[in-house]
């Protein structure tokens, strides 16, 4: 069976089931190299392993291909009765990395950048709610409620709380239709990405990945460290499961150092010795004081 034809059938099935265009595009990108490397659908685990081993990129790229293949080959098995070779494979390792976030000082620096009202409102929305950039650019005036906004994301529509300051900035942009507009209609995802990228760069932040997801991660991280709970954060961010949300539980190194200094067992072990050292120091000071008196 030709792999290309099966991938086309798989993508058409996804469109028929109502998967988002972005999801369809992701499957198409992830499976493209696999199709080139395997003109005929592979039946042996070693062939799939060879495809993953030859993939350029790191852990996330390999794990992404594995995820795409798991769904695609599962479709082939269900639709055409072709046994999936993934059943005999272990998922590739995915070393966990904490997402990049902004510190309190970096957030302050960001909002010192002089921006048009639309761009500042976009920054405030992303920082205040953690919504995805694709959800933000589709926001309509009718979606702005008294204390929440309604966004349409990967898991469907959901209500997301916003502060009054953010709400007023959004309402000031429009009274109907699209909230975020460009010169030729509604603001596109690419245009919004460029606004965020340039704003982060102007604030002094350096690095390759200066995009909207930094603000989404920043919201999630600060929400948790300030005392918010995972279930509420999951609903706000629109994650399908708590597993995705749990990444924000990871503490920064500064947090870890503070916790270490507070709870390290060496403190208890040395406490008696520290008491003796203090007594000895006080004895030395008293002795020195008597010597000064005798002079």
DSSP code per residue over 157-184: EEEEE--HHHHHHHHTT-SSSBSSEETT
The token duo for 237 is: 């961010």
Q: Which helix (H) or strand (E) holds 150?
A: strand 148-153
Question: Alpha-carbon distance 287 to 290, whole Å?
Answer: 5
Q: Helix, strand, or coil here: 2?
A: strand
pLDDT of residue 86: 78
pLDDT of residue 45: 81
Strand partners, 158: 151
pLDDT of residue 57: 65
pLDDT of residue 131: 93
C-alpha dist (Å) from residue 148 to 90, 121, 161, 167, 214 = 43, 15, 4, 8, 22
pTM of the model: 0.65
pLDDT of residue 139: 93
pLDDT of residue 258: 67
pLDDT of residue 294: 46
Contact call for residues 137 and 186 (beta carbons, < 8 A):
yes
Q: One digit per residue, pLDDT tens: the chain, 295 residues?
A: 788 899 999 999 999 998 888 788 889 988 888 888 888 887 778 877 777 777 666 677 778 888 888 899 889 888 888 888 777 777 777 666 667 888 888 888 988 889 999 999 999 999 999 999 999 999 999 999 999 999 987 777 899 999 999 999 999 998 788 999 888 888 888 999 999 999 999 998 887 778 899 999 989 888 888 888 888 888 888 888 777 777 777 655 566 666 667 766 766 655 555 555 555 555 655 665 555 444 4
């Amino acid at each position: 069976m030709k792999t290309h034809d099966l991938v086309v059938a798989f993508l058409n099935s996804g469109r028929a089931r109502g998967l988002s265009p972005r999801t369809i595009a992701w499957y198409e990108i992830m499976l493209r190299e696999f199709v080139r490397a395997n003109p005929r659908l592979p039946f042996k685990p070693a062939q799939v392993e060879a495809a993953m081993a030859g993939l350029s990129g790191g852990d996330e790229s390999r794990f992404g291909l594995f995820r795409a293949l798991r769904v695609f080959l599962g479709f082939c098995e269900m639709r055409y009765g072709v046994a999936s070779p993934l059943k005999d494979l272990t998922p590739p390792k995915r070393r966990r990395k904490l997402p990049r976030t902004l510190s309190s000082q970096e957030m302050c620096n960001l909002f010192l950048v002089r921006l048009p009202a639309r761009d500042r409102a976009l920054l405030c929305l992303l920082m205040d709610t953690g919504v995805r950039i694709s959800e933000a650019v589709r926001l309509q005036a009718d979606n702005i409620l008294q204390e929440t906004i309604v966004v349409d994301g990967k898991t469907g529509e959901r209500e997301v709380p916003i502060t009054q300051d953010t709400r007023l900035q959004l309402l000031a942009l429009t009274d109907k239709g699209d909230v975020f507009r460009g010169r030729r209609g509604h603001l596109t995802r690419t245009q919004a990405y460029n606004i965020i990228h340039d704003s982060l760069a102007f604030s002094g932040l350096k690095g390759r990945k200066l995009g909207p997801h930094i603000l989404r991660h920043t919201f999630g991280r600060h929400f948790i460290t300030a005392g918010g709970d995972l279930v509420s954060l999951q609903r706000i961010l629109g994650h399908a499961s708590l597993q995705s949300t749990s990444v924000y539980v990871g503490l920064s190194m500064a947090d870890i150092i503070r916790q270490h200094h507070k709870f390290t067992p060496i403190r208890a072990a040395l406490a008696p010795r520290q008491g003796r050292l203090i007594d000895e120091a006080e004895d030395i000071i008293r002795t020195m004081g008597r010597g000064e008196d005798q002079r």
